[in-house]
Amino acid sequence: MLTLLVIRHGEKPGEAWPGPGLTSDGQPNDKSLVIRGWQRTGAWAALFGAGFGGTEYPTPDAIYAANPAGSASRRPYETITALAARLGITPNMTYAQDQEEGLVKELLGLSGVVLVSWEHKMIVEGILRHLPISSGTPPTHWNGSRYDVVLRFDRPDGATGFAFRELFPMLLSVDSDEPLH
């Protein structure tokens, strides 16, 4: 069985949440999360890393994030740092944004539960278009103001396609249970 959990990075500068992007040690960086994004990072760590989500939000065996080296953003990596630390997992950052096809090829060869943190446009345009879907309809657009959704893909052993579900954990006060499309 392979379960893929795909999330968007946490909140960024220039959005509804004020303040500069900050690194984990508090240094200003416009490629980093804003304070609200760091709050979401902690919420993801609690949901996926403490068993609060039950079977709907299982604990990952592996974590992937877009490589921040030379990227326009550190946010996908920063979003999973607390969860990776809690679980003692070294995140796989082999792939950068625009290398989604290679990422998906690697993911398709895995088993267990895998969490992927990525940039929202490239989730839709890069990752989703390479996943074989047997049931459910993944979004074709990701609203730029949404950071609160989990895209879940389940593939039983021996199957070629994934069953898709969109999940709404409602972790922070502004989160929504409205689908992306």
pLDDT for the residue numbered 118? 97
Distance CA 77, CA 94 (A): 12
Average pLDDT taken over every residue of the chain: 95
* 125 contacts: CB under 8 Å, gap ≥ 6: 100
| Percent of the chain surpassing pLDDT 70 | 99
Give domain limits for the chain.
Answer: 2-167
Question: At the top level of CATH, which class does the domain 2-167 belong to?
Answer: alpha beta
Average pLDDT on 146-170 reads: 97
